[in-house]
Amino acid sequence: NDSSIEKKDSVGIVNGLAWTEVGGETLSVEVNIMDGTGKLELTGNLGDVMKESAKAGYSFIRSNSYKFGIKSDFYKNYDLHIHIPEGAIPKDGPSAGITMATAMISALTGKPVKHDVAMTGEITLRGKVLPIGGLKEKTLAALRIGIKKVIIPFENKADYEELPDIVKNNIEFIFAKNMVDVLENALTKPFKPSLPVKKSGNNLLPLDNELYIKNDISNVTIAKL
């Protein structure tokens, strides 16, 4: 069922790969952003683990918004709605984590996502990409709907080696260690932060929103984005 494949690059819409009772499956993650009060709406027949995965990605973005040029107070002045269509199909598990995070970042920055890219991977609070299962079934589904590039966790490299030739010959694979790897390959334009970045000082608890900016700035290369 190919109904959810976009014909062109869109803002806030990302192709995901899922593994359901009926085998490998593609899904389309949609994110809309609206004036609001900071509500995070999650719909599309999502299980608890998938909802928690969305929240992990949301906190990752809140903690790193300045790196993406997103205003740090977005979480309280806008509502985000993450929806995964085909509401009749129950969906669960952590493997749509990077897909939902990418859709949120695209919607918040206005940068389109390549329509022929799909991805699968669990996300951590710090943006690491963790391995997933069912890679063969997922990539076969991606092949069927014309996906050209698939982003998978770096730690699934061994599973990649076992993929059928028809998949490896027709799809380009990206092995992602973290969300920077994912975004570089999924977005149509590179980031150029438009907001000044404050470095952490020596004080233990800085005022305002300096706290989370300081948190792990030591191991971030802003220019890389």
Residues 50-69 that bind a copy of itself (CB under 8 A): 52-53, 55-56, 59-60, 62-63, 69
**Stretch of residues binding a copy of itself (CB under 8 A), selected from 15-23, 83-91, 142-150, 157-165:** 83-91
Beta strands of 36-171 (E only): which ranges? 40-43, 78-83, 117-119, 122-123, 129-130, 149-153
Could you tell which of a copy of itself, Ca ion, none binds residue 215, using a CB distance below 5 to 8 A set by kind?
Answer: a copy of itself
Burial of 219 (0-12, 13-18, 19+ CB in 10 A): exposed
Phi, psi of 70 (to 5 degrees): -95, 135
**Residue 113 interacts with a copy of itself (CB under 8 A)?**
no
Residue 105 CB partners (closer than 8 Å, separation 6+): 61, 68, 70, 111, 183, 187
Q: Does the annotation count 53 as an active-site position?
A: no
Q: Which of 21, 199, 203, 223 binds a copy of itself (CB under 8 A)?
A: 203
Question: Which string of x and - marks every residue 6-35 that binds a copy of itself (by CB under 8 A)?
Answer: --x-xxxx--------------x-xxxxxx
Coil, helix or strand at residue 75:
helix
The H-assigned helical ranges of 64-113 are 74-77, 97-109
- Kindly name the residue from 63, 95, 111, 114 that is annotated as catalytic: 95
Nearest residue (beta carbon) to Ca ion: 88
One of 72, 140, 184, 220 touching a copy of itself (CB under 8 A) = 72
Annotated catalytic residue, options 67, 91, 114, 138: 138
Rounded CA gap, 49 and 56, in Å?
10
95 is catalytic: yes
Residues that bind Ca ion (CB under 5 A): 1, 26, 88
- Select the binding partner of residue 26 from Ca ion, a copy of itself, none (C-beta < 5 to 8 A, by kind): Ca ion
Three-class SS of residue 83?
strand
- Please name the residues in contact with 170: beta carbons below 8 A apart, sequence gap of 6 or more: 143
Rule CB under 8 A: say whether 215 interacts with a copy of itself.
yes
Residues annotated as catalytic are 95, 138
